[in-house]
A and B are shown apart, each in its own frame.
Chain A
Amino acid sequence: MKIKLNIWKQANAKAKGKFEKYELDGVDAEMSFLEMLDSLNEKLIKEDKEPVAFEHDCHEAICGCCSLYINGHPHGPGNETATCQVHMRSFKDGDTITVEPWRAKSFPVLKDLMVDRNAFDKIMAAGGFVSIDAGQAPDANANLVSKIDADKAFDAAACIGCGACVAACKNSSAMLFVSAKVSQLALLPQGKVEAKRRALNMVAKMDELGFGSCTNTGACEVECPKGIGIDFIAKLNREYLCASIKEAE
């Protein structure tokens, strides 16, 4: 396969970037998208040119590093797949593929296709944890959790924090991410203790960091590699409203 690439190149966070055109021959249809970028970089290094910087780690859609906006889709074509699960068979010979970094004020570009997603860590640090003393591993039946809640919490916990929701949202809203984290903990007995404070603090941090607000387009749930639904956003809205009322009492 012969592929034409249109890739965002930016020397550093302060530099002004631009799109660079590349052509890559001999692309195997069974290559993953990241392998294709590796082979492009090998070629560039041989030609004594600057390789393209992109982030990747686990290659099994768990780490959430491989954050590329490919042809108008965060994580490229395909449902519930991260960039590392995209294969070149999704493209045709001679295709032009445009690769961009996540675009959001809160995710500044560090270099080329790499963005700084520390904003998510800051939101997590604001309340995305359980701080009560859990002590020794409790008896399996000491904390009863209904199957429904356990399943729901697990669905929310599938979030890998890749930021595709922010990248897909026309408002660069982090509501899907925050809603998954808030819901996951609020549904379980250990997390319920601090649920109110958590919702208030995480939303306040999200706003402070310059993410937009949710206008319910649902683009985030379509592009989420883990299939997290916007029903969690409704839950976050509920949690936040209840916490605000409780706080006022």
Chain B
Amino acid sequence: MSKFFTSSIGQKFFMSITGLFLMMFLCVHLIINSLLLFGDGELFNEAANFMSSNPLMKVIEPILALGFIMHIIYAAYITLKNRMARPQAYKVVSKTKVSWASKNMFILGGLVLVFLVIHLANFFWKIKFGTVATVSADGHELHDVYSLVAGLFKGCLLYNVLYILGAIFLFFHLTHGFWSAFQTIGWNNNKWIGRLKTISYIYAIIIAGGFAVIPLYFIFKYFV
């Protein structure tokens, strides 16, 4: 088994497992974010405070961070090694018809990473290490995360555009990443390959579309 982790298939297996884990996280993240669209933020504040005070989250948070780090480090390592497998490039660039996303996963991942850093600085950092105003709801105090989010989108149109762009990069990354993860762990065959590719697109549309709706909502609320 020790050889498994250093083999090319084993390294890809890690990419898949971490990828699938991150895709599950995206579902949870989107469900909570969708509460931003309802009411005046009370629902979202309740959910955000529940997540940050939940003891289970204290355990999951470092695992999630590790999932991201592993996924990124393995991606960089594998990509570098794969580039070395062809020291001399072709003069005529490959004309083989394959999905654009599949050829550009590293670049797309890099763009998502740039977005992630900005995103963490916008919210995670402020909630975790800064001071967030509190509001009282039903007799108990809540961190007013809604105002933090709404404030960012209200303050600058550029942030809205940036978050939509982030969703677009994520969309392309997921269209390939979803089915590819199943392929790499061996959960694929002739029948399922088409189905999985379709599910990939559905999943990517729901996730990326869902995340893009939030800045769009704020654009229409504050700028139109």
Residues of A within 8 A of B (CB): 6, 8, 19, 69, 71-73, 98, 100, 103-106, 168, 170-173, 200, 203-204, 206-207, 210-219, 222-223, 229-231, 233-241, 244-245, 247-248
Contacts and interface: CB of A to CB of B under 8 A. Distances in A.
Interface in B6-22: 7-13
A73 B176 contact: no
Given A105-B85, A217-B103, A234 B189 contact: yes
Given A105-B85, A203-B7, A222-B98, A237 B190 contact: no
Contacts of B98: 217-219, 222
Contacts of B95: 71-73
Nearest to B182: A234
A237 B1 contact: no
Interface in B26-85: 78, 81-85
B91 A19 contact: yes
Contact of B193 (A204, A213, A230, A244): A230
B97 interface: yes
Q: A interface, by DSSP: helix, strand, loop or mixed? A: mixed
Nearest to A243: B4
B180 A234 contact: no
B180 A223 contact: no
B129 interface: no
B85 A171 contact: yes
Given A206-B8, A212-B82, A215-B180, A235 B92 contact: no
Contact of A212 (B1, B86, B94, B99): B86
Contacts of B8: 173, 203, 206-207, 211-214
Given A219-B94, A244-B10, 19 more contacts: A6-B91, A73-B96, A100-B92, A104-B85, A105-B87, A168-B96, A170-B82, A171-B85, A204-B3, A212-B85, A212-B86, A222-B96, A230-B193, A234-B193, A235-B186, A237-B9, A237-B186, A240-B4, A245-B1
A-B interface, 6 closest residue pairs, ranked by CB to CB distance from nearest: A238-B186, A72-B95, A248-B1, A212-B85, A171-B82, A213-B8
A240 B98 CA distance: 26
Nearest to B8: A213
B86 A215 contact: no
A218 B175 CA distance: 14
A248 B1 CA distance: 5
A103 B85 CA distance: 9
Contact of B183 (A8, A72, A73, A237): A237
Contacts of A8: 91
Contacts of A241: 4, 9, 13, 185-186
B187 interface: yes
Contacts of A237: 9, 12-13, 183-186
Interface in B100-132: 102-103, 105
Identify which of B93, B96, B180, B193 gathers the most chain A CB atoms within 10 Å of its CB: B96
A151 to B, nearest CB: 11
Nearest to A172: B85
B96 A204 contact: no
B90 interface: yes
A240 B88 contact: no
A240 to B, nearest CB: 5
A168 to B, nearest CB: 5
Given A100-B91, A200-B3, A173 B82 contact: yes
Given A234-B183, A247-B1, A217 B102 contact: yes
